[in-house]
Amino acid sequence: GAGAVAGAAGYWRLSKLAVPARDDPGKDFAGVSPPLLQAIAKALKFPVSSMLPEEAFTVIRKSFDARKILKEPQFVYTVDVDVKRLLDLEPRTWDFIARLEPKLGTIEYMPDEKVASDLVSMLNVYKQGSDGELGINDTVNNGSICSPRKKPRVAVVGSGPSGLFASLVLGELGAEVTLIERGQPVEQRGRDIGALVVRRILHSESNFCFGEGGAGTWSDGKLVTRIGRNTDGVQAVMKTFVQFGGPPNILVDGKPHLGTDKLVPLLRNFRHHLKELGVNIIFNTRVDDLVVEGGQVKGVVVSDSRLQLGSPNQTLSFDAVVLAVGHSARDTYSMLLRHNVDMHPKSFAVGLRIEHPQELINDIQYSELAAEVHKGRGRIPVADYKIVKSFGEGDAELPEQNRSCYSFCMCPGGQVVLTSTNPSELCINGMSFSRRASKWANSAFVATVSSHDFRPFESHGSLAGVEFQREFERRAATMGGGNFVVPAQCVTDFLSNRLSVTTLPPSSYRLGVRPSKLHELFPSHVTEVLQQSIIMIEEEMPGFVSSEALLHGVETRTSSPLQISRNTGTYESTSLQGLYPIGEGAGYAGGILSASVDGMYCGFALAKQLSLFHGDI
Name the site residues for ligand FAD (rule: CB under 6 A).
157-163, 180-183, 208-211, 214-216, 218-222, 286-287, 324-326, 329, 332, 409, 417, 419, 429, 431, 583-585, 589-593, 595
CB of 163 to ligand FAD, least distance (A): 5
Q: 210 near 328, Cβ under 8 Å? A: yes
CB of 588 to ligand FAD, least distance (A): 8
CB of 412 to ligand FAD, least distance (A): 11
Length of the chain: 617
CB of 304 to ligand FAD, least distance (A): 11
Which C-beta is closer to ligand FAD: that of 35 or that of 216?
A: 216
Q: Strand, coil or helix: what is 512? A: coil
Measuring CA to CA, how many Å separate 400 from each of 440, 448, 452, 469, 470? 34, 9, 6, 17, 20
Which C-beta is closer to ligand FAD: that of 157 or that of 491?
A: 157
Which C-beta is closer to ligand FAD: that of 86 or that of 215?
A: 215
Which C-beta is closer to ligand FAD: that of 127 or that of 182?
A: 182
CB of 276 to ligand FAD, least distance (A): 21
276's CB contacts (< 8 A; 6+ apart) are none
Query: How far is the C-alpha of 305 from the C-alpha of 286, rounded, in Å?
Result: 6
CB of 265 to ligand FAD, least distance (A): 17
CB of 46 to ligand FAD, least distance (A): 40
Phi, psi at 116, each rounded to 5°: -70, 120
Peptide bond into 300 cis (omega under 30): no
Measuring CA to CA, how many Å separate 609 from each of 233, 294, 333, 570, 606? 20, 19, 26, 8, 5
CB of 221 to ligand FAD, least distance (A): 5
Which C-beta is closer to ligand FAD: that of 35 or that of 161?
A: 161
Which C-beta is closer to ligand FAD: that of 71 or that of 226?
A: 226
Which C-beta is closer to ligand FAD: that of 158 or that of 190?
A: 158
CB of 579 to ligand FAD, least distance (A): 13
Which C-beta is closer to ligand FAD: that of 200 or that of 374?
A: 200
CB of 480 to ligand FAD, least distance (A): 18
Kindly give the pairing relationship between strand 57-65 and strand 74-82.
antiparallel
Kindly give the pairing relationship between strand 176-180 and strand 153-157.
parallel
Q: Strand, coil or helix: what is 34? A: helix
Label each residue of 316-354 as H, E or C. Answer: EECCEEEECCCCCCHHHHHHHHHCCCCEEECCEEEEEEE
Query: How far is the C-alpha of 487 from the C-alpha of 527, rounded, in Å?
Result: 15
- Amino acid (one-letter) located at 88: D
Label each residue of 387-415 as H, E or C. Answer: CEEEECCCCCCCHHHCEEEEEEEEECCEE
Phi, psi at 355, each rounded to 5°: -130, 135
CB of 384 to ligand FAD, least distance (A): 11
CB of 609 to ligand FAD, least distance (A): 21
DSSP character at residue 373: H
With vertex at residue 498, the alpha carbon angle to CA 497 and CA 500, rounded to the nearest 5 degrees, is 135
Which C-beta is closer to ligand FAD: that of 283 or that of 468?
A: 283
For 6, other C-beta atoms within 10 Å of its C-beta total 11
Query: How far is the C-alpha of 205 from the C-alpha of 538, rounded, in Å?
Result: 41
CB of 352 to ligand FAD, least distance (A): 15
Query: How far is the C-alpha of 238 from the C-alpha of 229, rounded, in Å?
Result: 9
Which C-beta is closer to ligand FAD: that of 219 or that of 500?
A: 219
Which C-beta is closer to ligand FAD: that of 298 or that of 525?
A: 298
Query: How far is the C-alpha of 277 from the C-alpha of 299, rounded, in Å?
Result: 22
Which C-beta is closer to ligand FAD: that of 162 or that of 178?
A: 162
In 153-231, which residue ranges form alpha helices assigned H by DSSP? 161-172, 186-199
- Find, among 539, 484, 576, 591, the residue nearest to 162 by Cα: 591
Which C-beta is closer to ligand FAD: that of 564 or that of 592?
A: 592
Measuring CA to CA, how many Å separate 172 from each of 139, 266, 603, 612? 10, 18, 10, 10
